[in-house]
Amino acid sequence: MKKRSDKNNDNRNIAVISYSLMIIFVVLIGYIVVFLSGDNMELLNNPYNKAQEIFAEYTTRGSILSADGKVIAETVTDDDGNEVRKYPYNNMFAHAAGHFDNGKTGLEAQYNVYMLNASINPVVSAVNELKDEKNPGDSLVTTLDTGIQKAAYDALGSHRGAVIALNPENGNILCMVSKPDFNPNTIKSNWDDLIEDDNNESALLNRATQGLYPPGSTFKLLTLIEYMRENSNYRDFTFDCKGSASIDSYKINCYKKKRHGKEDIVEAFASSCNSAFATIGTELNKKQFRTLCNSFLFNSEIPVNYEYKKSTFVFNKSFDTGEVMQTAIGQGKTLISPLHNAIIISAVANGGYIVTPHIADKMVNESGRTVKTFSYKNGNTVLKPEEVNFLRECLLEVTKSGTGYALSGQKYTVYGKTGTAQYDSGDNSHAWYIGYAELDGKKIAVSIIVEKAGTGSDYAVPIAKKIFDALLGYNR
């Protein structure tokens, strides 16, 4: 009898333990099912995933479209039956859209698999397979506006530099221009020239996101914010500018040693007075200033689906007074990309948060039906409402009476800051402008750099005007 019950016990133990082991398999199978049901597009799109090449065998690559419905890139079959990637605007969208041949870049790389995915009726797909025809891939609809892109492209002319314009509230990039550029239609035949780069043009570099420049006076915006945070009575600030400021045997000149005379903080900002801001710089708490700049994404990743370079802000204890003064007016060791500067000005425009700039809006299938909408989450709030109000007052004063005067008297209102960034020990400088225009609640922010040109007022402001006109001007 005893033996028998032993056996029953054994069998019960075996059954309980084995079938509890089955639970981990139920979980494992559930995990696999969830994985397969999920959206694995990003996985497929990973550049390490070589399977992308297989999709191209069965699908004709989709197009890249502008927000206003124009074709920026498309795949056509040439007379020999080969598929060729065509760019109807030639150089104009070279950096914004990227190129297909000789290694994909830009949108061509980032959204490769999305354009190789055909969201069509499975019956049509099966018929296509029977006929041995390729399925039409989905097209990428961007936020780019061909009108604004053209205005920016023409306005930059033959200068080197970059222009980026975006909606400061939702991060839609309206134009992105970088020069020198290249023609993506002929990149194969011009490849050796582009790589050898005899004229030192770096035409393959997207200056809008990968170019790092000293921010010059556009950086006074951050110095101003830090000053406000450390001095609640900032409105009482007064300064008597004598054309230069000397502290501890270090000297900073205003532009052309111009004497700005007695000024408050708004006037000092509007006239971009180096003496006043260099002096302010020596009074700032270095650690706190670093924290502020880092919250504005210096030394950090920028939330953008593009190849880019991180901006740097260095402000060390070991800095001597001269370096401190230089840093406060945007020289020093600080480096920033035009895209990043666009994010900073957008924070003022949108009421204080870090926007997530992007170009990809949605995917549409062959018949134009939206099959996927890309969504973007905005970043942290970095400015308080009262700070936003005062900064807007200062930026508006730049237009009314300061270095951005050329933008005054339009039907839209412009808030902005110029910059003239010295990049060597001589007088050579890059022209900067960051700002936004507003009309009936509609806003557009721009960030413009013109390399080796001269002052921001002379070279960057006119470009800003053409872009603002293109979107908000009389002829629109």
- Contacts with another protein by CB under 8 A lie at 7, 9-11, 13-15, 17-19, 21-22, 24-25, 28-29, 31-33, 35-36, 40, 43-44, 46, 48-51, 54, 58, 126, 129-130, 132
| Contact (Cβ atoms closer than 8 angstroms) between residue 206 and residue 414 | no
Q: How many CA atoms lie within 13 A of 415 on its CB side?
A: 25
Q: How far is CA 267 from the centre of its chain?
A: 30
Q: Who contacts 23 (Cβ-Cβ below 8 Å, separation ≥6)?
A: none
Tokens, residue 413: 């209102």
Nearer to another protein, 43 or 84 (CB): 43
Nearer to another protein, 11 or 189 (CB): 11
Supply the minimum distance, in Å, between the C-beta of residue 239 and another protein. Answer: 49
- The closest of 432, 271, 253 to 326, measured between CA atoms, is 253
Nearer to another protein, 138 or 181 (CB): 138
**What are the backbone angles phi and psi of residue 37, rounded to the nearest 5°?**
-80, -20
Supply the minimum distance, in Å, between the C-beta of residue 361 and another protein. Answer: 24
Nearer to another protein, 49 or 373 (CB): 49
Count CB-CB contacts under 10 A for residue 199.
9
Supply the minimum distance, in Å, between the C-beta of residue 334 and another protein. Answer: 29
Q: How far is Cα 273 from Cα 237, in angstroms, rounded to an integer?
A: 14
Alpha helices of 200-300 — where are they, by DSSP H?
207-210, 220-230, 265-270, 274-282, 286-295
- The closest of 289, 309, 307 to 299, measured between CA atoms, is 309
Supply the minimum distance, in Å, between the C-beta of residue 229 and another protein. Answer: 35
Nearer to another protein, 18 or 249 (CB): 18
Amino acid symbol at 247: I
**Terminal CA-CA length for the chain:** 99
Cis status, amide bond into 180, omega within 30 of 0: yes
Nearer to another protein, 35 or 393 (CB): 35
Supply the minimum distance, in Å, between the C-beta of residue 136 and another protein. Answer: 17
Nearer to another protein, 129 or 197 (CB): 129
Nearer to another protein, 7 or 257 (CB): 7
Supply the minimum distance, in Å, between the C-beta of residue 209 and another protein. Answer: 21
Supply the minimum distance, in Å, between the C-beta of residue 362 and another protein. Answer: 22
- The closest of 291, 218, 234, 267 to 461, measured between CA atoms, is 218
Tokens, residue 329: 């007016």
Nearer to another protein, 32 or 124 (CB): 32
| Contact (Cβ atoms closer than 8 angstroms) between residue 382 and residue 352 | yes
β-strand partners of 438: 413, 443
Supply the minimum distance, in Å, between the C-beta of residue 28 and another protein. Answer: 6
Nearer to another protein, 17 or 195 (CB): 17
Supply the minimum distance, in Å, between the C-beta of residue 20 and another protein. Answer: 10
Supply the minimum distance, in Å, between the C-beta of residue 110 and another protein. Answer: 15
Cis status, amide bond into 338, omega within 30 of 0: no
Count CB-CB contacts under 10 A for residue 427.
8
Q: Who contacts 258 (Cβ-Cβ below 8 Å, separation ≥6)?
A: 243
Pairing of β 161-166 and β 139-142: unpaired
